[in-house]
Amino acid sequence: MGALLGVNIDHVATVRQARYARNAGSINVEPDPVEAALAAERGGAVGITAHLRQDRRHVVDRDIFRLKEAIGTKLNLEMGNAPEIVAIALKVLPADVCLVPESREEVTTEGGLDCVKYHSALEPTLKAMRDAGIRVSLFIDPESDQIAAAASLGAPVVELHTGAYAEAAGAAREAELARLIEAARQAADTGIQVNAGHGLNYTNVQPILTLPKLVELNIGHSIVSRSLFVGLEQATREMVECLRF
């Protein structure tokens, strides 16, 4: 028992962009996010996650198309609800898309998507993805009204935002874990698949495995950080072991 692991390779692309931001789409640049994805698969990842941001700060369009062709598991495309990115998703046809909030000022995604506020804007995107055979996940905070909105949108999957849990300590962390458990229970009771992610690492992940009906965790930064010392395949393998109980 345990949870499945999806590996986010965004920060491999971040390292590449530090040197090659002007020509990231050419062939003679490194590190290659596709090679990272293949290493993660060898380490036991059941999917590869990549976030194509509007500002292309790390992953670029060519990466997404190459990932779709190269990997043997599934591609989970993280994306904001922007027409340009929606159009790319409908060309790439990943197995999954995960709709997230997006701000140019943030370093990484902060906070969940407000499915209540943006319900009407999300409806056509979910329909377009559904019609194309793409499964949609909504990255949301563990709040009852957000889960209800996700259900009313017909989302088959939610990814519960674990950032507040990851940043808390002591009693505050226990309270955040309790929120996640209740949110997972509510989502599962409505027939929605429960995934989770954000800020999880090798030391804080195991309590998250107590979430009811948890299927998959998406983890990136911690695995890429660990890979500097042991390589990405081994770093992935170690996280897979953490997710077993």
| Candidate from 79-93, 100-114, 149-163, 217-231 with smallest mean pLDDT | 100-114
Query: Mean pLDDT throughout 160-170?
Result: 97
Query: Active site includes 198?
Result: yes
Using DSSP bridges, classify how beta strands 135-140 and 4-8 pair: parallel, antiparallel or unpaired.
unpaired
- Average pLDDT in the 189-208 region? 98
Catalytic annotation, pick one of 51, 102, 159, 216: 51
Residues, the chain? 245
pLDDT band at residue 110 using 50, 70 and 90 as cut-offs: low
Name the band, by pLDDT with cuts 50, 70 and 90, for residue 21: confident
Q: Indicate if 11 belongs to the active site.
A: no
Tell me the domain boundaries of the chain: 4-242
What is the CATH code of the structural domain delimited by 4-242? 3.20.20.70
> What is the predicted pLDDT for the residue at 2?
84
Confidence band for 109, pLDDT divided at 50, 70 and 90: low
Label residue 179 by pLDDT band (50, 70, 90).
very high
Burial pattern 207-241, b for ≥16 Cβ within 10 A else e, equals ebbebeebebbbbbbbbbebbeeeebbebbbbbbe
Banded model confidence at residue 23, pLDDT cuts 50, 70, 90: confident
Determine which one of 41, 78, 143, 233 is catalytic.
Answer: 78
* pLDDT, average across residues 155-175: 98
- What are the beta bridge partners of residue 179? none
pLDDT tier at 99 (50, 70, 90 boundaries)?
very high
Query: From CA 209, how far away is CA 199, in angstroms rounded?
Result: 14
Give 49's pLDDT tier (boundaries 50, 70, 90).
Answer: very high
Verify whether residue 84 is a known catalytic residue.
no
Query: 29: pLDDT confidence band, cut at 50, 70 and 90?
Result: confident
Catalytic residue, chosen from 143, 198, 216, 233, is 198
Give the model's pLDDT for residue 111: 82
